[in-house]
Chains A and B, each alone.
Chain A
Amino acid sequence: MSTKDGLLQRHHFLLRRLQSLTGIVPIGVFLIMHLTTNSTIAWGGANSRAHGDGWVDRAVSTFQHEVSFINDMPLLLLIEITLWVSIAFHAIFGFMYVLSSSNNMTSYKYGGNFRYVLQRWTGMLGIFFIFYHIATLRWGWSWAIPGQTEWSHEFASSTFAAAIQGSTEGYTGLGLLVSVFYFLGVSALVFHFANGLWTAGITWGLTVSRGSQKRWGYVCAGLGAGLMAMAWVSVIGFATLDYDRALDAEMGRSHAEQTLPEQQHKETVTQASNEEHNGG
């Protein structure tokens, strides 16, 4: 009889459940927020309070507003590190999972088995994508961006469009490749999340009966479809965004923010001069 006293052995269950948990909190929750933010490039034009005249200008401006908001968050680095560590943990243990199994899709062509295999492939594609995504845009590995352009959170839409289109002047061959990679990457991650949420129901023992597993399956499929739609419009939105137009909108927006309304401007000035009087 062998013993179970290695570190990984002793905490086996805890580690597996943590792997499951990290997939939902914080990673899954972050995914939902991230896709909501990013998809503003598609629907942000509907935001009537955004600066800009056309649909695209308002979308760019809404997206910029979101990005700036995130960048102004306190302890942002701490949030980021929590995410990175969670993703690394989830991925490393996920890999160990993959290595310990043996797929048998050829003999047992069941839907569940197909999702099981897909869950592993999307996980591997997904982590590769996330790494590229964070490395190029957050850690500044711009050598890995086709046109060697750099992403800036102050010009979030235009610089990102350039990063996935391959240049500031529209598509290049490599740019097209990166756009397709983004499309596949986000699709894989959304599937991975939705399917993982479904299996987590069984893993944690929330869905026990067949009926409940089925119902929870519909909920996850619905959520997955919604997220998939957001993911796709995000990628398509940025992949088709005109660099110059986006840059103009971003410039116009930052200019607008620094300019106060006329009336208010006067008040501030008079107030200041009054104070000067009193003080003098």
Chain B
Amino acid sequence: MSEAEAYSYDAEMRKENRKKAVAGRSVIFKIKRCDGPGKPMRWESFKVPITDGSNVISSLNWIAANPTTVDGQQTTPVVWDSNCLEEVCGACTMVINGRVRQSCSCLIDEYAPLEGDVITLEPMTKFPVVRDLWVNRDRLFNNLTRVKAWVPIDGTYSMGPGPKATHDLQQMRYALSECMSCGCCLEACPQFVKVEDEEKWDNAFIGAHAISQARLFNEHGTGKRLKGERMDELISEGGISECGNAQNCVKVCPKGIPLTESIGAIGRSATVHSIKKFFTK
């Protein structure tokens, strides 16, 4: 999808690197480490032998088994989060060479093709660090509940089969449904700033992923029953008007979700919703 233009520009560069990759090399992993919430950050580097198809997670596995820094210092294994290992769960998201992305799908050949090349790994900056590269993404999920990102089907009787949807609608919604709650769009967004205090989450920017999910469920035949409530949340503090249209979100989304279109669409719904509210409430 053309949504991720800069992403595909990177893809060009990565393809080039893949061609250059030297077999049997070792590369340096420079990792930003932290022992726990509130603890200071420090950098440690590890020299890791690269085998065919190595990726960041396999390299982290190697480091876990050999936790010795380049200076020969014995240290604790680096901690990270991961699950699916095929870029569909979003758990392994981290900042690699300054850009946010999934680490499980990050091939070493594409980032460090030559002997001694350096790859930097940092935890995402918009979420609290649990330990090392592992962050707590609770706020991301909290924000999905703020817009009730679901279809309401609970009740005392069967609601029968779902409503029919046109092909176009299905296509549009399918693209949005690919979101894996990874947090890339939030990490890259200049308007989404880190909020430590959980109490303040509901007043802080909700983020592109939640705006897009609100659209996904507003456009669902049954899901639209909650549209009013979703829009109420989205026109309150921390809602859609917090977006500054930098459009970084759409560039970094690994699933190529048309986030800026969702922002425009929810902006339109917000305009209509607020005018309606002015005259009917």
B267 touches A204 (CB 8 A): yes
A104 touches B236 (CB 8 A): no
Contact bitstring A4-43, B, C-beta under 8 A = 1, else 0? 1000110011101100000000000000000000000000
B263 touches A202 (CB 8 A): yes
**A-chain residues with CB within 8 Å of residue B251 when the two chains form the complex:** 108, 110, 112
Known contacts A101-B193, A113-B246, A116-B246; A2/B203 CB under 8 A: yes
Contact bitstring A118-135, B, C-beta under 8 A = 1, else 0? 010000000000000000
**A-chain residues with CB within 8 Å of residue B265 when the two chains form the complex:** 205, 208
Query: How many B residues, CB 8 Å from partner?
Result: 44
B270 touches A202 (CB 8 A): no
**A-chain residues with CB within 8 Å of residue B270 when the two chains form the complex:** 13, 205
**B-chain residues with CB within 8 Å of residue A259 when the two chains form the complex:** none
A112 touches B246 (CB 8 A): yes
Measured in the bound complex, the distance between the Cα atoms of B95 and A205 in whole Å is 32
A210 touches B245 (CB 8 A): no
B205 to chain A, nearest CB (A): 8
A112 touches B268 (CB 8 A): no
Interface residue A263 (Cβ < 8 Å from any Cβ of B): no
CB neighbors of A among B238-272 (8 A): 238-248, 251-252, 258, 260-261, 263-272
Quick one: closest A residue to B204, CB to CB? A100
Interface residue B196 (Cβ < 8 Å from any Cβ of A): no
Known contacts A4-B237, A108-B251; A203/B267 CB under 8 A: yes
B264 touches A1 (CB 8 A): no
Q: Size class of A's contact patch?
A: 35 or more
B260 touches A210 (CB 8 A): yes
A13 touches B248 (CB 8 A): no
Interface residue B98 (Cβ < 8 Å from any Cβ of A): yes
B99 touches A107 (CB 8 A): yes
**A-chain residues with CB within 8 Å of residue B236 when the two chains form the complex:** 4, 9, 12-13
Measured in the bound complex, the distance between the Cα atoms of B191 and A119 in whole Å is 14
Interface residue B153 (Cβ < 8 Å from any Cβ of A): no
Known contacts A13-B239, A13-B270, A205-B271; A108/B244 CB under 8 A: no
A187 to chain B, nearest CB (A): 21
A232 to chain B, nearest CB (A): 27
A100 touches B193 (CB 8 A): yes
Interface residue A97 (Cβ < 8 Å from any Cβ of B): yes
CB neighbors of A among B213-243 (8 A): 235-243
Interface residue A278 (Cβ < 8 Å from any Cβ of B): no
**B-chain residues with CB within 8 Å of residue A106 when the two chains form the complex:** 98
CB neighbors of A among B150-185 (8 A): none
B246 touches A203 (CB 8 A): no
| Residue of B190, B235, B238 most packed against chain A (CB within 10 A) | B190
B264 touches A108 (CB 8 A): no
Interface residue A86 (Cβ < 8 Å from any Cβ of B): no
Measured in the bound complex, the distance between the Cα atoms of B247 and A97 in whole Å is 16
Measured in the bound complex, the distance between the Cα atoms of B258 and A201 in whole Å is 16
Beyond A204-B271, A206-B264, A208-B264, 5 extra complex contacts between A and B, CB < 8 Å: A4-B202, A8-B237, A107-B188, A108-B99, A204-B268
Q: Which 10 A-B pairs have the closest CB atoms?
A: A205-B268, A112-B247, A116-B246, A16-B241, A205-B267, A208-B264, A13-B235, A199-B245, A12-B237, A107-B98
Residues of chain B whose beta carbon lies under 8 Å from any beta carbon of chain A? 2-3, 6, 95, 98-99, 188, 190-191, 193, 199-200, 202-203, 235-248, 251-252, 258, 260-261, 263-272, 274
